[in-house]
Amino acid sequence: MIIQPKVRGFICTNAHPQGCAANVREQIEYIQSQPAIDNGPKRVLVVGASTGYGLASRITAAFGSGAKTLGVFFEKPPTEKRTASAGYYNSAAFESEAHKAGLYAKSINGDAFSDAIKAKAVEMIKEDLGQVDLVVYSLASPRRTDPKTGELYSSVLKPIGESYTAKNLNTDKLEITDITVDPANEEEIANTVKVMGGEDWELWMQALGEAGVLSDNCKTVAYTYIGEKLTWPIYGHATIGKAKEDLDRAARAITESSPAAANVAVLKALVTQSSSAIPVMPLYISLIYRVMKEEGTHEGCIEQLYRLYTEGLYTDTPRLDGENRLRMDDKELRSETQAKIEKLWPQVTAENLFELTDYKGYQADFLKLFGFGVAGVDYDAETSPQVEAEFS
């Protein structure tokens, strides 16, 4: 089939196998161009390993530290008529590159919130790795089925307390209009914490700890975003921010109750399949792209992850805040950088979008997530959606 992007709103419903593979190779090459990670992890479990920050975590561990990696994700395989999801192609490409480099790499495709997938991961670690010395928790999901009760919870992206009106970019129509989001009620807040809070991270660490597969010097990290004034009403001080606060509680509980030392890492705002679904974020990210590219401080997932390993997880002098969180959002949150963004924010209109912001860069990165717009890939060529992959 000819595989061209099918974009609907903030999602792209197909993906290009060769484009995804090229993206993975590009990230591997970046890591290979950097100094190896001193005292880095050798056996790593990444939960949410197929796209965005989780994929970059896996690539950094494997190619920066020579780690054996087990990845867990929830991705659609291809059929004769439909392409796979991008994360499926990314993971197939990652495994193939890792195997070529002589590195152990296996993956589990299934619901990480379930007891069955946790048990499968434990079994594979026991059989193949013995123990792990790093567990990366990088799930982003709108829903979670509680493994004990079978109840399905959905998260919402809403402010807390009062409604919030803000400038929003409709990425389909390229219109900028004010949107008003009503505040969440108590149940919606609790449900969002249930989906995106720390409970599942704790359940993973409990299952791994009880099975004796965490090494004595094991570390675990989960990711959060905090942001600044422009995004607080819809992120930091909103339902998702409440859920993320729960990660701080979970980190303390995990450190107390398991052999692993747990930290939350604060990463910068970037285009991923998850962040493009959050109101206000596409416009904010287009602005920070422009400002940070001008400053020479722009980073993608892989640059952030390399710094997280070298300046956060595997250094004697990690950059920690008062909550024991590893701060990798230092460049985004510099006061000069935020001041430039705050100055530009009220001036942006649909007419000057491409001039005042780097929406072009945002759009290109969005399509790239699905393997489109990648140099060297022939998008007019007949392409099979099938790829070789052996996921458990």
Shortest gap between Cβ of 89 and ligand NAD (angstroms)? Answer: 12
Are 269 and 275 within 8 A, CB to CB?
Answer: yes
* Interacting residue with ligand NAD among 18, 191, 274, 337 (CB under 6 A): 274
Is there a catalytic annotation at residue 235?
yes
Residues 203 to 242 in contact with ligand NAD, rule: CB under 6 A = 223-225
Q: Cα separation of 198 and 220, whole Å?
A: 12
Q: Which of 141, 255, 338, 383 binds ligand NAD (CB under 6 A)?
A: 141
Q: Within 13 A of 69's CA, how many CA atoms are on the CB side? A: 35
Nearer residue to ligand NAD within complex by CB, 53 or 309: 53
* 73 forms part of the interface with ligand NAD (CB under 6 A): yes
In whole angstroms, how close is the CB of 170 to ligand NAD at the nearest point?
19
Single residue of 89, 94, 113, 391 touching ligand NAD by CB under 6 A: 113
Least distance in angstroms from the C-beta of 200 to ligand NAD: 9
- Interatomic CA distance for residues 313 and 57, integer angstroms: 12
Position among 28, 70, 72, 367 found at the interface with ligand NAD (CB under 6 A): 72
DSSP symbols for 369-381 = TTT-S-TT--TTS
- Helix, strand, coil percentages in the chain from 3-state DSSP, rounded to 5: 40, 20, 40
- 135: tokens are 């567990």
Task: Kindly identify the residues of this chain, within the stretch 355-384, that bind ligand NAD according to CB under 6 A.
Answer: none
Among 87, 198, 236, 385, binds ligand NAD (CB under 6 A): 87
**283, 291, 292 from 369: Cα distances, Å:** 18, 22, 20
Task: Enumerate residues 6+ apart whose C-beta is below 8 A from 361.
Answer: 286, 289, 290, 293
Judge whether 158 and 246 are in contact, CB under 8 Å. no
The DSSP code for 276 is G
- Residues 21-60 binding ligand NAD (CB under 6 A) are 48-54
Binding-site member from 23, 258, 263, 272 for ligand NAD (CB under 6 A): 272
Among 74, 201, 314, 391, binds ligand NAD (CB under 6 A): 74
CB of 48 to ligand NAD, least distance (A): 3
User: Closer to ligand NAD at the Cβ: 71 or 215?
Assistant: 71
Q: Which is nearer to ligand NAD, 146 or 259 (CB)?
A: 146
Q: Which of 98, 121, 122, 139 binds ligand NAD (CB under 6 A)?
A: 139
Phi-psi region at 296: left, alpha or beta (left = phi > 0; alpha = psi -120 to 50)? left
192 binds ligand NAD (CB under 6 A): no
Q: Return the structure tokens found at 50.
A: 């197929």
In this chain, which stretch among 67-75, 185-193, 229-237, 371-379 interacts with ligand NAD, using CB under 6 A?
Answer: 67-75
Minimum CB–partner distance for residue 378 and ligand NAD (Å) = 26
Stretch 306-345: interaction string toward ligand NAD, x if CB under 6 A = ----------------------------------------
Q: Between 159 and 241, name the residue whose CB sits nearer to ligand NAD.
A: 241
95 lies in the site for ligand NAD, by CB under 6 A:
no
Q: What is the DSSP string of 213-272?
A: -EEEEEEEEEEE----TTTTTTTTTBHHHHHHHHHHHHHHHHHHHSSSEEEEEE------
Instruction: Find the residue with minimal CB distance to ligand NAD.
Output: 52
Active-site residue among 53, 137, 225, 235?
235
Q: Compute CA distances 147 → 150, 151, 251, 378, whole Å.
A: 5, 8, 21, 44
Q: What is the dihedral of CA 131, 137, 139, 145, to 10 degrees?
A: 70
Choice between 145 and 383, CB closer to ligand NAD: 145
Phi, psi of 45 (to 5 degrees): -105, 125
Site mask, ligand NAD, residues 238-267, x = CB under 6 A? Answer: -----------------------------x
Nearest distance, CB of residue 112 and ligand NAD, angstroms: 3
Beta carbons of 108 and 49 less than 8 angstroms apart: no
Choose among 141, 89, 86, 90: nearest CA to 117. Answer: 141
- d(C-alpha 348, C-alpha 185), whole Å: 32
Q: What residues act catalytically?
A: 235
Residues near ligand NAD (CB under 6 A): 48-54, 72-75, 87, 111-113, 138-141, 223-225, 267, 269-270, 272-275
